[in-house]
Amino acid sequence: MIKYLLRRLAYLLVLVIVASSFTYLLAAVTLNPRANYEGRNPPPPAAVVSAALDKINSNPDKPALERFGHWANGIVSCLPFGDPCDLGLTFQGVPVKDEIGRRMWVSLRLLLLGAIIGSLAGVAAGAYGAVRQYRVPDHAMTVSSSVILSIPTVVLAVFLKALGIGINNAVGGQFFLTIGEITPGLDTWSWVGISDRARHLILPSLVLILGAYAFYGRYQRSAMLDVLGSDFLRTAQAKGLRRTRALIKHALRTALIPMGTFFAYEFALLFIGATFTEKIFGWHGMGEFLVTTIQSNDVNGTAGVALFVAILVLIAGFMADLVTAALDPRIRRG
């Protein structure tokens, strides 16, 4: 198993290097940072613009490979016992690492609760629906997940936001808070601050919970149905194991193997996949940062987000391999 995990880790490291390098070069070639200075009145001198772009290593007049080498050198400095990591500066002159360091915690606070609750609910509903195939629980899960998956995330988020505002107007209060993650000026860890954060978190978390429930419910149902007709499950019951225990110990354990991989990668990609939810509810996280960097022709910001996501995918892939090795004895023997 150790050899298998080491091979997988080396493979994932290569993917991180290739993905982040390709993204930087693509951004350096296609984005035009000079456009941020166009249309100003009076127009800044060309020498001033070039100097400003040189300062953030985004001058299109320099070869893309030269700029990539400078950027990659900052990445290498992140290695153990090296200098502090340098991912360059954003167009506004803010260090990209500081912006990512701030925004990733915003996204994590938004995503953690929704992803965990939604995935657990989806797995439970999908497994139970498979066991009760073609009965009311199965039909309820299938119909609800199909409806949710057919609604675009942006529509679902706008609908829940409007619903929250409508409920607030109906009760004459502010039970649901729909903009930002906390009301400015409140003490974060006071009772009032915690309550305020919770009310800000309800609606965007519900968007993520519903999406995860629908996604994992459908896949878990299919995975569970494949296992229910297997020989090893019938053998376990023939040897005297109760049906409930056989379903939990053998069927569910086997059906969870692909779901562990799904969850690991889905959670990593949620950091930039919750863009609509962050934008609509005013959470300034990684998804919003990615959109902003592309819109502002920010090469360093775009490349920084790509590197961040690539590292998350590496961690997620390795965690998925660990889960698969723990659930599948064939890999442990290998």
Residue 275: predicted pLDDT: 84
Q: How far apart are CA 294 and CA 302, in angstroms?
A: 6
How wide is the angle at C-alpha 249 spanned by C-alphas 233 and 133, nearest 5°?
Answer: 60
The widest CA-to-CA distance across the chain, in whole angstroms, is 86
- Site of tokens 């609750």: 117
Q: What percent of the chain has pLDDT over 90?
A: 26
Domains of the chain: 1-91+298-334 (no CATH), 100-295 (1.10.3720.10)
Query: How does the average pLDDT of the chain come out, rounded?
Result: 84
| DSSP symbol at 248 | I
238-275 pLDDT, tens digit each: 777 776 777 776 677 777 777 777 777 776 777 777 88
> 89: helix, coil or strand?
strand
> Which residues lie closer than 8 Å to 167 by C-beta, 6 or more apart?
175, 176
Side chain identity at 268, as an amino acid letter? Answer: A
Residue 162: exposure state from Cβ atoms within 10 A (0-12, 13-18, ≥19): exposed
Residue range 1-41, pLDDT digits in tens: 677 777 878 888 888 889 899 999 999 999 999 888 887 87
Q: Using 50, 70 and 90 to split pLDDT, how confident is the model at 80?
A: low
Supply the pLDDT for residue 74. Answer: 83
